[in-house]
Amino acid sequence: MDNAINNKIFGPVMIGGIKFSSNVLMAPLAGYTCFPFRLMVKELGAGSAYTEMVSADALKYNDRATHNLLYTDDREKLKCVQLLGAVPETFEKAAKSGLLEKFDVIDINMGCPVPNVIKSGEGCALMDDIPRASKIIEACKRSGKVVSIKCRVGMNKKRIVIEEFARMCEVSGADMITVHGRTRDMMYDGEPLFDLIKLAKDSVNIPVFANGGIDSKEKAYEMMRQTGADGIMLARYGFENPILFSELTGREITDTKAGLLLKQLDIANECFDELYVLTYVKKLASYFMKKMPGTKQYKLELYKCGSVSELRKLIEEIFRVNG
């Protein structure tokens, strides 16, 4: 598909009065969507990228881990945070707190399927408690910020609630909904249920974004065609292959993979301690090296690096050999 056709599908979008540079977004991913990564995918064409999932309740501790999750500066023009929790009052306090003052958009996690999250009444469990979910949205909206929701289509195929849930989100004041087209019990496997994402889209007047299983341009186009969504949100495949943002939006890439990695190393080194930098960049480098000849050996060498300078030298060497 050429860029002329591509640009008719993927382009700028207005959400809650804010212009997003494209309707291809990066989902929150625990352990991955830190500040340097968010900057990179935006440069590659992402319209927004959310922080890693942040516990609304944990904000009160104001510790180093929280500051790392929420780290941002003026290089990140559109700032989006994702909150997880189950208590409306806690959400309101978090949304109005000084820690979130810089953020333009609050996304509420109503889709996480992990058992410990569900047991706490958080994430996807909120789809089984629509009145509570509504109060949480209203509580966040009282902050005056744009509010988006990330949810699934229901807990299982016998409890599909997406139509009612989407309408509740709109009535409660949400500015956007992202629908992961799987039920909670499907976790991250199986084909997304396109018809149920379309049902959500047809049920409301606010933007609806589609998420789930988008690992290529072809899957992205198919998701848009079958659901009629206003845009898409990439998740783990956005981390495994961030170049996909550029391929979808037509944004020109000026850096090689090595260049992107070294920039990530530099930015992370400015913002975080060495242990954090090494952990994050090693993970990203491992994905960037997939399918390279000798990947297994490179990964062994990668994880032996004990300093930023060692890691830099190894990345330069690996990509000099492999182009």
Catalytic positions are 112
Residue with tokens 């070294």: 262
The string of DSSP letters for 93-152 reads HHHTSGGGTT-SEEEEEE----HHHHHTT-GGGGGG-HHHHHHHHHHHHTTTSEEEEEE-
Cβ contacts of 86 within 8 Å, gap of 6 or more: 120, 121, 122, 125, 126, 132, 136
Contacts of 78 (CB under 8 A, 6+ apart): 18, 20, 21, 42, 47, 48, 104, 105
What whole-number distance in Å separates Cα of residue 124 and Cα of residue 118? 7
Give the count of beta carbons closer than 10 Å to the beta carbon of residue 281: 26
Tokens matching residue 188 = 């991250």
Which amino acid makes up residue 3? N
3 state DSSP class of 78 = coil
In degrees and rounded to multiples of 5, residue 51 shows phi and psi of -60, 165
